[in-house]
Amino acid sequence: MMFRTAKPEDAEQAIQVIRQSIEELCFADHRRDQDILRMWLSNKTPDNFRSWTTSPDQILLVAERDGEICCVGGVARDGEITLNYVSPKVRFQGISRAMVDALERVLLDLGRTRIRLVSTNTALRFYHSIGYRDFGPPEFWGQLPGYPMEKELA
């Protein structure tokens, strides 16, 4: 498996991974409610992904296995993990954890020692297991709760 900086030409594959991850793995969050899914997926488009890859405020990474993108991650330069979506085909194979490690290294290289993120309900236990702690009350995006978390890096 290889991690690399995302490129605009990754948009179609990367968005497919993100959308499949949300639709198939985040059931605890959307409960197949079409309104919630529509809202959550509304900005997950190839055009938006291309703009994210060229934004000076964030860095996107992809993980590739056998030439296919299987995980998409992103950080804002201010120290927040903004994306971490794994393909349902490779769930529970350590790829999402490896992506978080790669994103943390990017932020450490930028001089950030405190990392924040807003977790889904689906990923909450995962982030607790790798050292993130709750940081404030849930935030809501429409009906979709997000759980602020943070971690201090050495």
- pLDDT (0 to 100) of residue 45: 97
Q: pLDDT confidence of 137, banded at 50, 70, 90?
A: very high
25-29 average pLDDT score: 86
- pLDDT (0 to 100) of residue 32: 84
Average pLDDT, the chain: 94
Which of 14-23, 29-38, 86-95 is least confident? 29-38
Q: pLDDT confidence of 6, banded at 50, 70, 90?
A: very high
**pTM confidence score:** 0.93
Q: pLDDT confidence of 112, banded at 50, 70, 90?
A: very high
Range of the domain at 42: 2-152
Query: Does residue 104 carry a pLDDT above 80?
Result: yes
Query: Does residue 154 carry a pLDDT above 80?
Result: no
30-44 average pLDDT score: 87
Which CATH number do you get for residue 101?
3.40.630.30
Query: Does residue 49 carry a pLDDT above 90?
Result: yes
Amino acid identity of 144? L
**Number of separate domains in the chain:** 1
